[in-house]
Amino acid sequence: MLRRWLLLAVVTVLACVGSALAWSAVQTRPALVDISQPGPLVVVSMPSLTYADTPDTRGSTLWKLARKGAVGALATRSLTQHSCSLQSWLTLSAGVRTSIGTIVGETPPGQSPAPCPPAPTPVVASETTTVATVATTATIAPWATWRRTTLGRAQPADIGRLGTVLASAGQCIAAAGPDAALGAANTDGVVSHYVSDPRRVDVTVCPVTFISLAGPDDAYLRWLTPRLPARTTLVVAGLSDEGGPEQLHAVVIAGPGVSHGLLSSVSTGQRGVITLTDLSALVFQRAGSKAPRLPEGRLPLVQPSGSPTAPVVRTTEITDALGQQHQLVPVFLPAFFALVVAGWAIGALIWLRVRDLEPASPARRWVRRWVALVSATAVAMPMSTFVVNVLPWWRGGHPRLQLAVGVVAISLLFAVVALVGPWRRLTGGSAAVLCLLTAVVIGLDVSHGSDLQFLSMLGLQPLYGSRYSGMGNVAFGLFATASLALAALVSSPLSRGRGQVSKLAAATVVVIGGVAVLIDGFPRWGADGGGPAALVPAFAYLALSAVGRRVTVVRAVAVVFGTSVVVIALAVLDYLRGPESRTHLGDFVARLDDGKVLASLNRIWQANVTFLTSSPLTLLAPLPLLLLLWVALRPRSRWPRQLRPSIQAIPLLAPALRAVALVWLLGFLLNDSGTAVPPGGAMLLVPVLVLLAAQLPPPDRSHAGTPTPGQPSVTVEREPTGAPVGR
């Protein structure tokens, strides 16, 4: 038995390593390079800017800059679902996402967004009307009140920090336009050089110039570019959603210190995508050693490209794909699960008519196969939303339809593979294959940049600034649930034995759990802080159950200590990578000496409360967790009778359900917006349980095979002809 287990483990490891190497080979890309600023810096904001916002797109000034500079998509969300210019410029100034004034929510489908609050008009000392004038200082009246508000939040935002830091380094900031003044103001709300009309700006008066326009204006770019001083670094970006729907916006950085290619940053980990706070880091860079360490923003980097248009095409496709999938989510998911429930209901109605027939009757067999097919398709759907992004579904005339059809087709394909393969003869074999595929797809994607998750309907949702790479909360719910279910299904036959056999069951659980924790918590992969803290105790409980040990106080303390060691080790490992490479794990360690740890935890809990209270529907997010806790914490004899056959056939299923409940609970409490963890896991767990029930033999088991201890459980039925059929 030990040799067979070792052989299977080696084969599995080699298969996973081979898949990872193949994935890495496919994704080989040029190394990222830095951006330097040898001369002045000019930042031009055009709210809602995209690469298609000019009549003659490819002949526009924006495209000419893009052919020479670094291009990308800019994520502009601050603390609200719709980004406004007032909030975006304050975020740029503070280097931390913040907001002031009226909150504008998500734009309803097919409607226009609510109006954004206007920026206050700066109070200027004097201003003439000649084109060559140099403006005097200006003051923003409500600045002191704003600072008290933004500094008093769980995530403090020191608005005006940018202007003050650059002034201390001997560099002033000139501003043209009321919105730009917000970014240029110092901590006292004073702008050293201000003009209200961008056409009258003097880009030579200060080393840094901020210009705010009302919207996309390529004619202004044509007017501005010849007037730029030599060696200027020019940033043209859509800094806010303003009057358009929420989406990623165009950003171009051009200058003598900028390579042509795709923009990226450590904060996003995505080629072609940067954040607003990354632009803050770019401006702060001019202060040299006085530049602060921002909690979110990192310096933009460039992935060089030899094609003049490929970076723009890539960026445009990212933006379009995210917009299309985001619009499809509220339609596709309810429709898909409504069809799944309808499929189950059809199976239940037919079962009521045929349940009195012989167990081996064709009618009963076909009902179970129908329910199994519907359930397997539902289990495969979440990972199919990842896999479908291997295909360029966003190209063509009907991208949303192509995406929906692609997800359903891939789900059916995975379902058929799981149901017809030789593993179907093992109890829980089909469910185990689907859980394995789900965990492998998410694990490989997370460890290779999260490209599939980035565009998935169940992925990171970067339009709203949740995450851009690593393990998202929905993905964690799926990954953790699939990993625990897989461990229970493949270890259950071994757990029937005693001695060495049961220890092999526990070893199987530990190996699967160790890989899951590594993928989720490793800083360069999942970079998840709360995930390992939830996974370690869950897998520890399942491993104890595999060898028939109960949870005692001593063992519970040991698990808590071991969990702390794992989480601290991952965080310290990230901390040691240095400030410019750290994720939030390393930042957490760095904050231990400045007393901001409790503020970080408070922000996590506030984010969960905010999400739960955002609408009546979001209040239902913890419902799957509460239902599972209600079931899992009851005595086994009082579990719902629909689950009892599965629990009897799969010894570790009951402990696995308790372990899943523990993961959902801890994931809910320890992750920012962790409210998404239970619904994400439930999308996989519920159809898995129905699939197990559908593939178990009927109650009459007079001719069912009985597995021997330590051997895979196989149930055999007889067709009327006497031929054995695996179930």
pLDDT at position 638, please?
A: 78
Residue 142 Cα to chain centre, angstroms: 36
Domain for residue 442, yes or no?
yes
365 falls within a domain: no
**Residues 255, 131 share a domain:** yes
| Mean pLDDT score of the chain | 86
CA distance 710 to 591: 50
* Count helices and strands in the chain by DSSP H and E runs: 23, 15
| DSSP per-residue string spanning 220-272 | HHHHHGGGSPTT-EEEEE----TTS-S--EEEEEESTT--SEEEE-TTT--TT
Contact between 274 and 74 under an 8 Å Cβ cutoff? The reply is yes
- Both 306 and 437 in a single domain? no
End residue of a domain, out of 312, 337, 357: 312
Q: Which two tokens stand for residue 262?
A: 């795709």
Q: Are strands 123-124 and 138-139 parallel, antiparallel or unpaired?
A: antiparallel
Cα→Cα distances 3→10, 438, 632, Å: 10, 28, 35
pLDDT at residue 713 is higher than 70: no
Predicted local distance difference test score (pLDDT) of residue 597: 54
pLDDT of residue 605: 59
- Would you say 621 and 675 are in contact if contact means Cβ atoms under 8 Å apart? yes
For the ranges 174-188, 397-411, 524-538, the lowest mean pLDDT is seen at 524-538
pLDDT band of residue 609 (cuts 50, 70, 90) is low
| 80 domain residue, yes or no | yes
pLDDT in tens, 91-118: 999 999 998 888 888 888 778 888 898 9
Q: 216: which 2 tokens?
A: 């996309």
Q: Which residue has the tokens 């005595």?
A: 635
By the 10 Å C-beta count (0-12 exposed, 13-18 middle, 19+ buried), 449 is classed as buried
User: Above 60 in pLDDT, residue 571?
Assistant: yes
Quote the number of domains for the chain.
2
Q: How confident is the model at residue 457 (pLDDT cuts 50, 70, 90)?
A: very high
Environment class of 157 (CB within 10 Å of its CB; exposed 0-12, middle 13-18, buried 19+) = buried
d(CA 201, CA 212): 11
In a domain, 665, yes or no: yes
DSSP letters, 413-464, are HHHHHHHHSGGGGBTTHHHHHHHHHHHHHHHHHHTTT-HHHHH-TTS--GGG
Q: Is residue 131 scored above 80 in pLDDT?
A: no
The reply to whether 281 falls in a domain is yes
Residues 142 and 274 in one domain: yes
pLDDT digits (tens, 9 = 90+) for 203-259: 999 999 999 999 999 999 999 999 999 999 999 999 999 878 888 999 999 999 999
Whole-Å CA distances, 443 to 113, 670, 673: 37, 21, 21
pLDDT number for residue 703: 44
Q: Tell me how far apart the alpha carbons of residues 315 and 319 are, in angstroms, rounded to a whole number.
A: 6
Among the residues of 671-706, which ranges form H helices?
677-695
pLDDT of 130 > 50? The answer is no
- CATH number of the domain where residue 146 is located: 3.40.720
What are 659-711's pLDDT values in tens digits? 999 999 999 888 777 788 999 999 999 999 999 999 987 655 444 444 434 34
Domain end point (choices 284, 312, 340): 312
Q: Which of 3-17, 116-130, 454-468, 583-597 is modeled with the greatest confidence?
A: 454-468
CA distance 202 to 131: 9
Strand spans (E) along 311-445 = none
- In the chain, what is the straight-line distance between the N-terminal and C-terminal CA atoms, in Å? 24
Show which of 258, 288, 312 is a domain's final residue. Answer: 312
Enclosing H/E stretch for 571: helix 553-575
* Residue 619, pLDDT above cutoff 60: yes
- Sign, CA torsion 251/253/259/264: negative
Q: What does the alpha-carbon distance between residue 528 and residue 526 come to, in Å, rounded to a whole number?
A: 5
Query: What's the confidence (pLDDT) of residue 709?
Result: 40
* 210 within a domain of the structure (yes/no): yes
Find out whether 476 and 531 touch, Cβ atoms under 8 Å: yes
Residues sharing a CB contact under 8 Å with residue 116, sequence separation 6 or more, in sequence order? 82, 84, 85, 86, 102, 104, 240, 242, 243
Do strands 123-124 and 173-176 pair parallel, antiparallel, or not at all (unpaired)?
Answer: unpaired
- Smallest Cα–Cα separation from 336: which of 407, 247, 256, 260? 407
For the chain, percent of residues with pLDDT exceeding 90 = 54
Nearest Cα neighbor of 127 from 30, 194, 54 is 194
Contact 389, 451 (CB under 8 A): yes
CA atoms within 13 A on the CB side of 521: 25
Nearest one of 211, 226, 224 to 44, comparing CA atoms? 211
- Position 125 scores a pLDDT of 77
Higher pLDDT: 292 or 126? It is 292
The tokens describing 52, both together, are 């298609």
Residue keyed to tokens 């994931």: 667
What pLDDT is stored for residue 612 in this prediction?
64
Give the model's confidence band at 356: pLDDT under 50 very low, under 70 low, under 90 confident, else very high.
Answer: confident
Closest CA to 669 of 617, 661, 483: 661
The C-alpha angle 523, 527, 532, rounded to 5 degrees, equals 105
Q: What is the pLDDT of residues 58-75, one digit of tens each?
A: 778 999 999 999 999 999
Domain residues for the domain of 698 are 428-718
Q: Is residue 578 part of a domain?
A: yes
Q: Give the pLDDT confidence score for residue 466 in this predicted structure.
A: 66
Residue 498: its pLDDT value, please? 64
Helix (H, G, I), strand (E, B) or coil at 204: coil
- The answer to the question of residue 472 being in a domain is yes
